[in-house]
Amino acid sequence: MRPVKFSDVVIVGLARDEAPEILSSETIEERLEPVYERLRLPRGLLASLTGILRRRLYPPDFKPSQAAVRAAEKLLTQTGFDRGHLDILYSTSVSRDHIEPSTASIVQSRLGLGGQVKSLDIGSACLGFIDGLELAALALERGLAGHALVVAGENSRPILEATLARLREVADRAVFFRHFATLTLGSGGAALILGRERDHPGAPRLVGAVSRTDARANDLCRGDEDGMETDSPALLTAGVALAKATFDQGAADLGWTPAGFTRLISHQVSAANTRKLCQALGLDETTLVKTYPDYGNIGPVAIPFTLDLARERGLIPPGARLALMGIGSGLSCSMLEVFWP
C-alpha cells in the first residue's frame, strides 16, 4: 500500500483508562523466587533487562470491551461530543471478549450507539489502533463518514497469571526466556475520535501515514489466551530493520527527517527496544515520551495512551510534529504523522 497523505482529518479528542492495580516487577520476581533459584537468575533481572518497574492490571474477569468503554465514556464526557454524530466504531484490541460476536458490537451496545454506526474489530497485533486510525481517516477523507471512534482495551492479567503458573514448573533457561516477554505486559484502555478539519478547525491534524510488513517473521512472537512465546533477540533485530525501511519510505514519499519530529509517541515494549529503534532511525531518544517504566507494554493501547498522557502533562508544544509509530508481531510497522497546532 502506498503512503497516504491526509488533507481534512483531525483528532477531535482522546482519553485513556488506567487499570487500578499496580504490580511491580519486584513482586513478579518474588512470585517466581523458586524458579529464579533453580535457574540461578539474579533478582532484579526483569527491571534491568526491560526498564519496566511496574505495570497495571484489571480484575481477572474484566473484559477488553469494559476498558474500551470506560475510555470512550471518559472521552465523550470530557469533550461533550454528541455520540449520535458517530458513523464508525473500530475496536482494535489484541484480546477480545469472545471469538464472536465482535468486541466492537459489545462496545457499540454499551455506548448506546445507533444503527447508523458501522462497527467492526480490526486486529493487527500491537498496531491495531494505528491501523484503525488510518482506515477511519481514509473513510473521512472520502466523505463516507463525518466522525469515527477508535478504541482499544487490554487486560493482561489472565495471560500473566497463566504464564506465572507455567514458569513455576520450568527447569530450562531457554524455555524461561521464550516466555519472558509476557512478564512485560500491562493493561489499560484508550479511545480517540476523528473528525474533519472543516468541522473542527484548529484541532490536531493527521498529515500522512506509512506502513510496511515482513511476514517472513510471523513466527517470532505467537500468543493466545494461555501464553505467549517470543524469540526476543530475533524479533528486535527484524523489527528494527522493518522500522528503518518504513521510516525511509516516509522520508522518500512524505519528506520525513529524523530532526523534523518534535515528539516520538511509540508502542513501547522495553528500554532496549526503544533505544535500538531511536538509534536505527536517527531519532533523538529525549523526544520519546516514555510510558513503559510505569505501565509496561499495553499492546495497541500504548500509542493513544502515551499520546493522551503527553497531552495531559503538557509535553506537546504548540506547532509540534508528532511521529506515532510501532512494530507489531507478524511483522508489521506503521507510522503516522500528526501536526499539533
**Nearest to 86, CA basis, from 109, 114, 106, 67:** 114
First to last CA, the chain: 29
Buried b (16+ CB within 10 A) or exposed e, 26-38: eebbeebeebbee
Q: Are 336 and 209 in contact (CB under 8 A)?
A: yes
**AA identity, residue 49:** L
Whole-angstrom Cα distance, residue 23 to residue 72?
25
φ/ψ of 147, rounded to 5, equals -145, 145
R_g over Cα of the chain: 19
- State the catalytic residues: 100, 126
CA angle 11–17–162, rounded 5-degree value: 125
